[in-house]
Structure 1
Amino acid sequence: MHLDHKETFPERHTYSAAGPKRPDGTRRALRIGLGGPVGTGKTATVAALCRALRDELSLAVVTNDIYTREDAEFLLREAVLPAERISAVETGACPHTAIRDDISANLEAVEDLEDAVGPLDLVLVESGGDNLTATFSKGLVDAQIFVIDVAGGDDIPRKGGPGVTTSDLLVINKTDLAPYVGVDLAGMARDAKAQRGELPVAFTALTSENGVQPVSDWVRGRLADWSAGRA
């Protein structure tokens, strides 16, 4: 019996880098994705970035959860942005499917936000909790932040994975917990350097004042390049 190969192995969606222009010819918002394992502080990082940048930039957020709107509801409760600037995607499957494989739901959410509340400078797209292999399609975001935390162990940078090794910015969060969980931050920095070369690493403690500043400063730099047409 002959089997249709496409029925056995359905086509995966592939995308090239998204164009920088909207249909009206204006430059679209810079899109930055945030990924990382469950509990590392992705949503807290998004919230902190919104607080740090909302007075100087026009921004919006798209969150991804499997069957709920929990991350979006957290951002709404924290009032980090007006409700119309926060959109939730329910992936219905592993989060990476909606940020890397079939990105259509996220693309629609991003474009709807730009139509509804634009023009926007920045859209943050947060993945639901995933693993060290989580990456974003270049058709969805222009740069990726990957968040890990010290509570996961200081061996995480050594373990690598695409999120750790190839993300545009690696964030090592919850550094304030290092003394309590026996983590060597200097060792994590060395291991991250060995895995990433010249790609940047930011250490954050979001519970401290200005704890998100290393990340917000990096975002400002990416946005300056984007606005100048260099990214």
Structure 2
Amino acid sequence: MAEPATSPDIWSPDWVDPFAPTVNADDEYAQLVDALREVQEAITRSRPTPGAAADAAVTLRETARRMRAFEVDEDSQIAGKRWEIAGKGHSLAPVLHIDTVTDTFARGTVTIGRFHSGRYAMNGGVTPLIFDELLARLANSGGRPWARTAYLNVNFRAPAPLHTELTVTGELTGQEGRKRFLRGAMHHGDILVADAEGLWVELRHEQTQDISRNLEGRDR
């Protein structure tokens, strides 16, 4: 089991992803995101009375109001940039635990709850989210310049069960100039539930410079 994260500097988020196996974290921001995931799952699984739904809506709107007091721009937000923990501090996609990383290969595990269900199995739209997280991070690791997803094709081979650990792998299969080709697979035990192949295109120099200027401007 991975060791707990040691005092991550969550107040200085960065777009640079030091792609590595994930670690456990129990700091205040990680707890906040975990609580949000609990709310998502609990609401999905519930059939509340009108009164209970109204009371919960008041509570959630109050939480949103409190968080708006800390609103920042996208470069400064923490969500999606907690690279060292599963889920990166974001509640959109299922929590992907990374256990193996090399320059050309990555593997992780994910367990789907009813929030991401599509009638007793994982919703088909969720599968590309998982592949894109793993493959995009691999495409941009190993000292390679920043690239963006050009396409991601997913084949659904079998239903992906809920509440069951799935294994997800990604592989960098080749590079031609600015083009990086990757493929992925998702298994339930020995059963292939989905596979994917995608293309990531390295940003041109001027595009990278524009991003760098934006990031530098944030720090002034």
- Return the TM-score normalized by structure 2: 0.30
Higher strand share: 2
When Rg is computed on C-alpha atoms for both structures, the one with the higher figure is 2
Higher helix share: 1
